[in-house]
Amino acid sequence: MIRILKSLIDIFFPPKCVICSKLNENFLCDDCIRNISVTGNYVCQFCGKPTIRSVNKCLECKDEKLYFTKARSFGIYEGVLKDVIAEYKYKNVRALTKLLTQLLYITLQKYYRDISFDSIEYIPMTKRSKSFRGFNQSELLAKELGKITELSVNGFLIKTKNTKKQMSLSLSERRKNLIGVFDFVGSKENCRGDILLIDDVYTTGYTVSECSKVLLNNGANDIYVLTLARSLLIQ
C-alpha cells in the first residue's frame, strides 16, 4: 500500500531538483552537484579551511583554543551547496538526507579513511528549536551515516539554552554565546575512543569545539569533525 501511494504521489508530484527544478528522484541533479565548490587538496590540516598550500594551522584558527582534533568538509558554503542546505533545513526537504549523507561519506573516505571511529555524535538543538523546525538536520545526517558505516550514533549531547543566532553576532560574541550551553546526558562508559562529530556547516568552529569539549570531559579520546560545508566568510 505504501509503495502504491508513493507511486501515485510521484506521478502527480514528481520529485524535482531543489535547485534547478529538473526531474530528479534524489532532489539534487548531477549537473547541480557538479557545480558545488568542493574542498581541494590543500586545506588547513587542523580546521579544514581551503588554502593555497597545506599548513598545520591557518590564520583563522592558529590563535584559537578549539577542542577537536581536526575538521573536514565536503565543499564550500556558497552557491549550490549553500542553497541546498537552506532547502534542507528551512523548507523541510528531508528527502535530501540520503544524498547529503553520501557527500559526507565521500568526505569521510577522503580525509578520515585511516581512522577507526568508535561512534558518531551530532550537534544537538534545544527542544524548542527542534520542535519549531520539526527535525534536527545534523541528527538525521548522523543516523544515516551510521547506517552506512555501521557505527553507533550516540546522542549524548543536549543543548540546554536557546541562544542568539551566531550569524547576528560578532566573532567575540559568538564564542561567549555558546559557552556552557551544551551538556552530557549519556553514559561515560560508552563515550570513549575516537568520535566522529557531525554538523551541517562549519563557520568559526565554536559550536563543534564546545561540543567536543563536553565529549572530551566525559571520556572521549579525540573528536573529528565532519560537515557538509565550510564557510569562508566570518562576519
Q: What are phi and psi of 193, to 5 degrees?
A: 70, -155
Q: Note the pTM of the prediction, 2 decimals.
A: 0.91
At 12 the pLDDT is 40
CB 211 within 8 A of CB 142: no
Q: What mean pLDDT is reported for the chain?
A: 89
CB 18 within 8 A of CB 5: no
What are the residue boundaries of the structural domains of the chain, listed by start? 36-230
CB 142 within 8 A of CB 178: no
Side-by-side strand order, sheet with 70-76: 70-76, 222-230, 194-202, 119-122
Confidence of residue 234 (pLDDT cuts 50, 70, 90): low
Q: What is the pLDDT of residues 62-111, one digit of tens each?
A: 999 999 999 999 999 999 999 999 999 998 889 999 999 999 999 999 99
Better-predicted residue by pLDDT, 235 or 51? 51
Task: In whole angstroms, give the CA distance from residue 4 to residue 124.
Answer: 36
Which of 59-63, 220-224, 227-231 has the least mean pLDDT?
Answer: 59-63
Measured at the CA of 50, the angle between CA 195 and CA 109, to 5 degrees, comes to 40
Confidence of residue 2 (pLDDT cuts 50, 70, 90): very low
Query: Which CATH number describes the domain made up of 36-230?
Result: 3.40.50
Measured at the CA of 215, the angle between CA 49 and CA 89, to 5 degrees, comes to 55
- C-alpha cell at position 26: 534524489
Q: What is the pLDDT of residues 19-43, one digit of tens each?
A: 998 888 888 999 999 999 999 889 9
> Which residues on adjacent β-strands are paired with residue 75?
38, 229
Tell me the C-alpha to C-alpha distance, in Å, between residue 35 and each of 32, 84, 148, 149. 5, 12, 25, 27
Dihedral of the CA atoms 184, 186, 188, 189 (nearest 10)? -170
Of 194, 215, 210, 207, which Cα lies nearest the Cα of 227? 207
* DSSP class per residue in 169-230: S-HHHHHHHHTT-EEE-S-TTTS-SEEEEEEEEESSSHHHHHHHHHHHHTT-SEEEEEEEEE
